[in-house]
A and B are shown apart, each in its own frame.
Chain A
């Protein structure tokens, strides 16, 4: 199983809503990532978890709250988002510890904030 599964595939939310994005992998990877991708732009790193601990936060606004409840799951909690937060949110996983470990990406959640 070399898949990273993201749910939901599409999400529409209002600016006052609270929602969560979910990501799951069963490859035994202990590093997990959230990326944000605007249309026709490259993915931008948001967060990195290593061994279930947050190791990198790329100065992401607090309305995005990541959570890694166990080694297979990664969540991104969303609250009070703005329309400019509409984007494709990508999850990825890898073995941590070596510079050449491949990242495996999910297909993403397409988020629209109204």
Chain B
């Protein structure tokens, strides 16, 4: 499986943008980049995904490097509710039509009021 590398932790201030980096230098041409986050005492939740182009949704933006060896999850205005562990995941196809979601260590984001 292609691996991802993320900083263990990051801090941000409320209402400021947050850029969460992810390195995936061994990414293959068919790997999609997915981001999930896990709020305290909850299961993970989907945030965003992309292949080559930058992507936006109501939660965040995903900026993907031209060589696809890195990506950045952007939270445009952090709130206290965004404090969570953020996981960058390369989606792996195996087992026929099933696709494993394999979590790395993730980045613990702390948001200061």
| Residue from B36, B41, B87, B99 in contact with A99 in the complex, judged by beta carbons closer than 8 Å | B99
A83 CB to closest chain B CB (Å) equals 22
Chain A residues with Cβ below 8 Å from B97 are 50, 96-97
Q: How many residues of B contact A (CB 8 A)?
A: 28
Chain B residues with Cβ below 8 Å from A27 are none
Interface residues of B in 56-108 (CB under 8 A from A): 85, 87, 91, 93-106
| Residue from A42, A96, A105 in contact with B98 in the complex, judged by beta carbons closer than 8 Å | A96
Q: Which of A43, A50, A101 is most buried by chain B, counting CB atoms within 10 A of its CB?
A: A43
Query: A99-B32, A99-B91, A100-B32 known; A45 and B100 CB under 8 Å?
Result: yes
Interface residues of B in 31-50 (CB under 8 A from A): 32, 34, 36, 38, 41-46, 49
Once the chains are docked, how many angstroms separate the CA of A14 from the CA of B93? Answer: 38
Is A114 an interface position by the 8 A CB rule? no
Closest to B92 in A: A99
Chain A residues with Cβ below 8 Å from B41 are 107
Once the chains are docked, how many angstroms separate the CA of A109 from the CA of B45? Answer: 16
| Residue from A42, A56, A100 in contact with B87 in the complex, judged by beta carbons closer than 8 Å | A42
Is A102 an interface position by the 8 A CB rule? yes
| Residue from A45, A90, A106 in contact with B102 in the complex, judged by beta carbons closer than 8 Å | A45
Once the chains are docked, how many angstroms separate the CA of A105 from the CA of B45? Answer: 7
Question: Which residues of A are interface residues toward B (Cβ below 8 A)?
Answer: 4, 31, 33, 42-45, 48, 50, 55-56, 90, 92, 96-108
Query: 14 interchain pairs (CB within 8 A)?
Result: A42-B87, A44-B103, A45-B101, A50-B96, A50-B97, A55-B96, A56-B95, A56-B100, A90-B43, A99-B32, A103-B101, A104-B46, A107-B41, A108-B42
The 8 A-B pairs of least Cβ separation, nearest first, read: A105-B43, A42-B103, A102-B46, A97-B97, A56-B95, A99-B99, A55-B98, A55-B95
